[in-house]
Protein backbone atom coordinates (compact mmCIF):
# COMPACT_ATOMS: atom_id res chain seq x y z
CA UNK A 1 0.00 0.00 0.00
CA UNK A 2 1.39 3.32 -1.02
CA UNK A 3 -1.25 5.59 0.48
CA UNK A 4 -4.79 5.86 1.80
CA UNK A 5 -6.27 5.71 -1.70
CA UNK A 6 -4.51 2.39 -2.31
CA UNK A 7 -5.90 1.07 0.95
CA UNK A 8 -9.42 2.21 0.03
CA UNK A 9 -9.19 0.52 -3.36
CA UNK A 10 -7.86 -2.67 -1.80
CA UNK A 11 -10.76 -2.75 0.66
CA UNK A 12 -13.24 -2.25 -2.18
CA UNK A 13 -11.62 -5.04 -4.18
CA UNK A 14 -11.71 -7.44 -1.24
CA UNK A 15 -15.35 -6.56 -0.50
CA UNK A 16 -16.28 -7.15 -4.13
CA UNK A 17 -14.60 -10.57 -4.07
CA UNK A 18 -16.65 -11.83 -1.10
CA UNK A 19 -19.30 -14.40 -1.86
CA UNK A 20 -22.81 -13.13 -1.12
CA UNK A 21 -23.40 -16.12 1.16
CA UNK A 22 -20.54 -14.97 3.43
CA UNK A 23 -22.13 -11.53 3.72
CA UNK A 24 -25.58 -13.05 4.33
CA UNK A 25 -24.20 -15.34 7.05
CA UNK A 26 -22.52 -12.40 8.79
CA UNK A 27 -25.76 -10.43 8.71
CA UNK A 28 -27.80 -13.39 9.97
CA UNK A 29 -25.39 -13.97 12.88
CA UNK A 30 -25.25 -10.33 13.92
CA UNK A 31 -28.13 -10.36 16.43
CA UNK A 32 -27.01 -13.52 18.26
CA UNK A 33 -23.41 -12.30 18.36
CA UNK A 34 -24.50 -8.94 19.78
CA UNK A 35 -26.67 -10.69 22.39
CA UNK A 36 -23.73 -12.93 23.38
CA UNK A 37 -21.45 -9.90 23.67
CA UNK A 38 -23.94 -8.12 25.93
CA UNK A 39 -24.40 -11.24 28.09
CA UNK A 40 -20.62 -11.55 28.40
CA UNK A 41 -20.49 -7.87 29.42
CA UNK A 42 -18.29 -7.19 26.39
CA UNK A 43 -15.92 -10.00 27.40
CA UNK A 44 -15.02 -13.09 25.41
CA UNK A 45 -18.03 -14.89 23.96
CA UNK A 46 -16.77 -16.87 20.96
CA UNK A 47 -16.55 -20.10 22.97
CA UNK A 48 -20.13 -19.66 24.20
CA UNK A 49 -21.33 -19.18 20.63
CA UNK A 50 -19.45 -22.28 19.48
CA UNK A 51 -20.92 -24.39 22.29
CA UNK A 52 -24.43 -23.09 21.55
CA UNK A 53 -24.01 -23.93 17.86
CA UNK A 54 -22.78 -27.44 18.66
CA UNK A 55 -25.65 -28.03 21.09
CA UNK A 56 -28.22 -26.80 18.57
CA UNK A 57 -26.70 -29.08 15.92
CA UNK A 58 -26.85 -32.11 18.23
CA UNK A 59 -30.44 -31.35 19.25
CA UNK A 60 -31.49 -30.98 15.64
CA UNK A 61 -29.87 -34.31 14.83
CA UNK A 62 -31.59 -36.05 17.75
CA UNK A 63 -34.95 -34.57 16.80
CA UNK A 64 -34.54 -35.82 13.26
CA UNK A 65 -33.78 -39.31 14.62
CA UNK A 66 -36.86 -39.14 16.83
CA UNK A 67 -38.99 -38.27 13.83
CA UNK A 68 -37.63 -41.36 12.12
CA UNK A 69 -38.30 -43.46 15.28
CA UNK A 70 -34.63 -44.44 15.39
CA UNK A 71 -33.95 -43.57 19.04
CA UNK A 72 -36.92 -45.31 20.65
User: pLDDT digits over 19-53, tens only?
Assistant: 999 889 889 888 887 888 788 776 777 777 777 77
* Number of domains composing the chain: 1
pLDDT at 8 over 80: yes
In a 10 Å sphere around its CB, with 0-12 CB exposed, 13-18 middle and 19+ buried, how is residue 40 labelled? middle
Q: Domain range for residue 54?
A: 4-67
72 within some domain? no
Q: What percent of the chain has pLDDT over 90?
A: 25
H/E element holding 17?
helix 4-17
What's the whole-number average pLDDT of the chain? 82
60 within some domain? yes
Amino acid sequence: MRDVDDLKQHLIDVWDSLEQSVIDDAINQWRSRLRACVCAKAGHFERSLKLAFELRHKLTFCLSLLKLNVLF
